[in-house]
Every structure is written in structure tokens, then in C-alpha cells.
Amino acid sequence: MTLYILCFILFLVGVYGVLTRRNLIKIVISLTIMEFSVFLMLVLVGYISGGLAPIVVHPEGSDISVVDPLPQTLVLTAAVIAVATNSMVLALAIRLYKKYGTFDIRKINELKG
């Protein structure tokens, strides 16, 4: 249970970072922290104690316990998506830096939404 609570604390650290930091790059880093806390949580949820990696190398009928591959594939896919997010956001941050000459979001305020 401690591990789950630690994951949740990590998630909150990320949320705190996104909400309070003023630097674009630091916001991206906080978003990444949030991402990894959720991935950790998923892997923890899917783990069975003593389970092996879910690869079929043993002939059928042998009695071994493997962990469920579903959360692991989900984490892998979500990690790929996280790569896409991070590269997109960083590319935007570089573009914004070129337009405004700063990474400070207080100075990047053309829009008021």
C-alpha cells in the first residue's frame, strides 16, 4: 500500500509543478513526472508476486505463474504516447522561444482564455 501512496504523491508533485512553475521547460518536466507516476502505478497494479515475464517459452501445460501482459502493454503504449507528447511540447517550446525570446509563461500572454 505504501508504494501506491508514494505513486500518488509523485503524481501530486507533478501536478504542483505544472501549476506553479513559470518556465516552459519546467512545466514539461513536471508533466513527465506525472506521466511516470501513472506508469509506475499501472505496473504495480499488474504485478503478481513471484510472476514471470509473460513470454510463451514453455510448452503448454507446465505450471508456472506469469504476470498479466495487459498492464505492461498498456504502459509500453502509454510510454510511446508520452514520447510523442514530450517531443511535441518541446518543439512548441523551441518555437515559442524563437517568437518571444523567453521561456517565461508570464511574458507569453497574447491570448486570454
Partner 1 sequence: MEGMSIIVKKIVQLISALIFVFGMYSAIHGHINPGGGFAGGVLLSGAFILLIIAYGLDYFKLKQQTEATSIFESLSILIALLIAFSGLFAGSLYFFNNYFPAGTPGSLISGGLIPIYNVLIGVKVAATLSTIFFALIIYKEEIRR
Partner 2 sequence: MEEWIIILFFVIPLFGAFVMPLTYLFSPESPKLITPVITLILLMLSLYSVICQPEQIAYSIGGWKPVDNVPIAIYLVYDGLSGFMLVIINLVAFFSSVYAIKYMEEYTGQKYFYVLMCLMIAGMNGVVLSGDLFNLFVFTEISAKSSYALVAFGVKKDELEASFKYQVLGGMASLIILFGIAMIYWQTQTLNMADISYMLQNAENNIFPVFVQLIFITGFGVKAALIPFHAWLPDAHSSAPSPISAMLSGVLIKTLGVYVIMRLYLSVFQLNESVSIVLLALGGLSMIIGVLLAFGAWDLKRLLAYSSISHIGYIITGLGIGMIMLSRGENHLAATLAFTGSLFHIANHAVFKGLLFLNAGAIEYAANTRDMKQMGGLAKFMPVTLTSSFSASMSISGMPPFSGFFSKLIIILAAVISGFYFIAGLAVIAGIITLSYFMKFQKYAFYNKPSGKSPVKEVPGLMRFSMISLAVLCLLMSVLILPGIRDGFLNPAVNTLMETTEYASKILGR
Tell the residue number behind the cell numbers 521547460, with chain if given. 25
Least distance in Å: CB of 90 to partner 1?
A: 7
Separation of alpha carbons 15 and 29, rounded Å? 11
Amino acid at 76: L
Interacting residues toward partner 2 by CB under 8 A? 11, 15, 18, 24, 27, 31, 34-35, 38, 41-42, 45-46, 68, 70-71, 73-74, 77-78, 81, 84-85, 88-89, 92-93, 95-96, 99-100, 108-111, 113
11 φψ region: left (φ > 0), alpha (ψ -120 to 50), beta (else):
alpha
- C-alpha cell read off for 86: 514530450
Q: Which does 108 bind (CB under 5 to 8 A by kind): partner 1, partner 2, none?
A: partner 2
Q: Which does 33 bind (CB under 5 to 8 A by kind): partner 1, partner 2, none?
A: none
Gyration radius of the chain's alpha carbons:
20
Positions in the binding site for partner 1 (CB under 8 A): 53, 55-59, 76, 79-80, 83, 87, 90-91, 94-95, 97-98
